[in-house]
Amino acid sequence: MSRYEEFYRQSVDAPEAFWAEQARLIDWKTPPTQVLDASRPPFARWFVDGTTNLCHNAVDRHLAARGDQPALIFVSTETGTEKTYSFRELHAEVQRTAASLIALGVAKGDRVLIYMPMVPEAAFAMLACARIGAIHCVVFGGFASGSLAARIEDAEPKVVVSADAGSRGGKVIAYKPLLDEAIRISKHKPPAVLLTDRGLAPMALTAGRDHLAAELNLKHGGTEVPCTWLAATGISYTIYTSGTTGKPKGVQRDVGGYAVALAASMKHIFDGRPGETYFSTSDIGWVVGHSYIVYGPLIGGMATLMYEGLPTQGIDKQPDGGIWWRLVEKYKVTVMFSAPTAVRVLKKQDPALLKKYDLSSLRALFLAGEPLDEPTARWIAGGLGVPIIDNYWQTESGWPIITIANGVEQKPSKFGSPGVPMYGFRVKILHESTGEELTGANEKGVVVIEGPTPPGFMQTVWKDDKRFVDSYWKSIPGKMVYSTFDWGIRDEDGYFYILGRTDDVINVAGHRLGTREIEESISGHAGVAEVAVVGVADALKGQVAMAFVVPRDGGAVTNAGAALKLEGEIMKVVADQLGALARPARVRFVNGLPKTRSGKLLRRAIQAVCEQRDPGDLTTIDDPATLQQIKQLLSSD
């Protein structure tokens, strides 16, 4: 048995002893004596009688040993800003913000909704909430007013923390008008709004409700705000799952279990070490930003690099496909976390940029958010010369479910696989209809997690235990297991492969095909930079696959002859690898694919456009022109 296999076995065979050991990685005001209460499945309560505080563990406990070391490094290529805050300076900023929130009436258990761009003030607000025991709810910056209003109604915040505007690719996005409209149409009216004025867009203030952060910070500049010690099972934050329709589904997370899970992941998975620098290219509006921009690195005593801008935009706003690597060199980044889609964007840049900078500090690049295709993995692995480690998890899990635990044992990655189940996660593959466990190599089924779920996992759906149970734990007949709603297989070495959503399956003439499998096949063609496959309603076959491809050579987008040739080659690749049934009905060539800022492909929006339906809320789309191009292609048929 390998070192990691033994480590994993301890975590699932003796979870209480295992997690009691991991709990030593954080500070406790009251150390827990009861590690786990699993008496009411599927609910798991961790470190039941312990008390702690996330902000203390992220900031205060580091002051004595590394108070003057970098804690938060902010880089914005949108505004040409680079600023570093030490742990001591971060401590002061967080206390100022906490004092401002208290002055606005926020107390323990109150909700604070944060609607901010990627700026330090967003992190200050999150940590300030954690410090005083308020429950923060971060909503992705730039969300449309209707979506924001639904979240305001669900969270019922005492205060909304926001800013005048964000910026993306040099385009200013005014937040304040969106927020004003959201509050206008919301049934819940927040008593106060705390605003950071970046000077990017004019801001009309509502008297009695709106307050400028700069003025309150000045007033509370030297105020000391002690940490409020909280029950480990208390609520730290809620975050809404992306793509939610109808009533928002707030993932609710605890305090103590989350702190322990993040501390353990920084050590065992990311191999991060105090005093080093961690760089996650995500956004605080997503769970990766919560776990691995704000809390995880700081809990681990690392500096965290917070980045506002495009992966191809320099600090002088000029095109620069090497900006991230310049930052790795400058700040001696040791661990980097990004998304496969971001790497595919960089893949179009000059490969010499990967060799231009000194990247000797970097030990590994972790990727998540989308399945990592083999061509992209090989390209970035060859360019960086460090392990490229895929990882698979969800908003609900809070930290990786499947990856490689570098800090426990250096295991090889397999292209196309995120890795093996992480400690504490009892990951199984079950037959979708019978619930039978599939133990053979390469048997396709639904990826599930058996309870009790580990620390850091969601507690429940905010204000809706029934929805938590019904949505996640009752989809497999005869089994109470957490469904990831993803298809997967396991190979003979125990490595998992994720094959796409169970609800993104294409049913072609009675045959079920995963979009992920078709995408993987198409992405193997040397002329393909990126691809999205969606199922489109068809009167004859029920559904057909439609592929949208970003070619490596843009000529296929504008030249009909080149497009026809490449389409034929792609069709042959798919037919040869997966069979004629899997061939897309059409392959269409585009300049780019619609994605969110965090790099998630908006497949459902593409599908809706193909079927002439309303694609829904597209305020998180990074480049609206990509979807418009698809519309024009379809309308020209």
* 76, 170 Cβ separation under 8 angstroms: no
Provide block-wise average pLDDT over 10 residues at a time, the chain (637 residues): 95 98 98 98 98 98 98 97 98 97 98 98 98 96 82 96 94 95 96 98 96 94 94 97 62 98 98 98 93 98 97 86 96 95 85 91 92 85 93 95 96 92 98 93 96 98 95 92 94 92 67 77 91 85 89 87 93 82 91 82 88 76 85 82
Which segments of the chain belong to CATH 3.40.50.12780? Answer: 3-472
Q: Diameter of the chain by CA atoms?
A: 71
Q: What's the confidence (pLDDT) of residue 556? A: 82
**Cα torsion angle, 250, 255, 257, 259, sign:** positive
Neighbouring CB atoms inside 10 A of 110's CB total 18
Which residues neighbour 260 within 8 Å (Cβ) at sequence distance 6 or greater?
19, 22, 23, 25, 26, 46, 47, 455, 456
* 90, 130 Cβ separation under 8 angstroms: no
Beta partners for 547? 533, 587
User: Quick one: residue 435, left, alpha or beta (phi over 0 = left, psi -120 to 50 = alpha)?
Assistant: left
DSSP 3-state percent helix, strand, coil across the chain (nearest 5) = 35, 25, 40
* 337, 598 Cβ separation under 8 angstroms: no
Q: Where are the beta strands (DSSP E) in 361-518?
A: 364-367, 388-390, 402-403, 420-421, 426-430, 445-450, 460-461, 482-490, 496-501, 505-508, 511-514
* 448, 482 Cβ separation under 8 angstroms: yes
List, as own/partner pairs, every contact residues 176-181 make where C-beta atoms lie below 8 angstroms and the sequence separation is at least 24, other chains included. Answer: 176/201, 176/203, 176/204, 178/142, 178/143, 178/144, 178/145, 178/148, 179/115, 179/145, 179/148, 180/204, 180/206, 181/145, 181/149
What do you get for the CA distance between the two ends of the chain, in Å? Answer: 59
Tokens at 10, concatenated: 């301890």
Which segments of the chain belong to CATH 3.30.300.30? Answer: 509-635
C-alpha to C-alpha distance for 572 and 112, rounded to whole angstroms: 54
Residue 172, phi then psi, degrees to nearest 5: -75, 135
* 565, 553 Cβ separation under 8 angstroms: no
Tokens at 549, concatenated: 């491809």
C-alpha to C-alpha distance for 259 and 54, rounded to whole angstroms: 6
C-alpha to C-alpha distance for 29 and 31, rounded to whole angstroms: 6
* 339, 370 Cβ separation under 8 angstroms: yes
Residue identified by tokens 């004092």 is 99
C-alpha to C-alpha distance for 264 and 287, rounded to whole angstroms: 17
Tokens at 23, concatenated: 């709990």
Neighbouring CB atoms inside 10 A of 604's CB total 16
C-alpha to C-alpha distance for 90 and 585, rounded to whole angstroms: 55
Domain 509-635 has CATH 3.30.300.30: yes
Q: What's the confidence (pLDDT) of residue 244? A: 35
User: Which superfamily is assigned to 3-472 in CATH?
Assistant: ANL, N-terminal domain (3.40.50.12780)
Nearest in space to 333 (alpha carbons), one of 297, 308, 299: 297
Report the chain's C-alpha Rg in angstroms: 24
Tokens at 180, concatenated: 């004003």
For residue 269, the number of C-alpha atoms closer than 13 Å in the C-beta half-sphere is 33
Q: What's the confidence (pLDDT) of residue 243? A: 39
Q: DSSP alpha helices (H): ranges in 508-585?
A: 515-523, 555-558, 560-578
Residue 454, phi then psi, degrees to nearest 5: -75, 170
* 82, 75 Cβ separation under 8 angstroms: yes
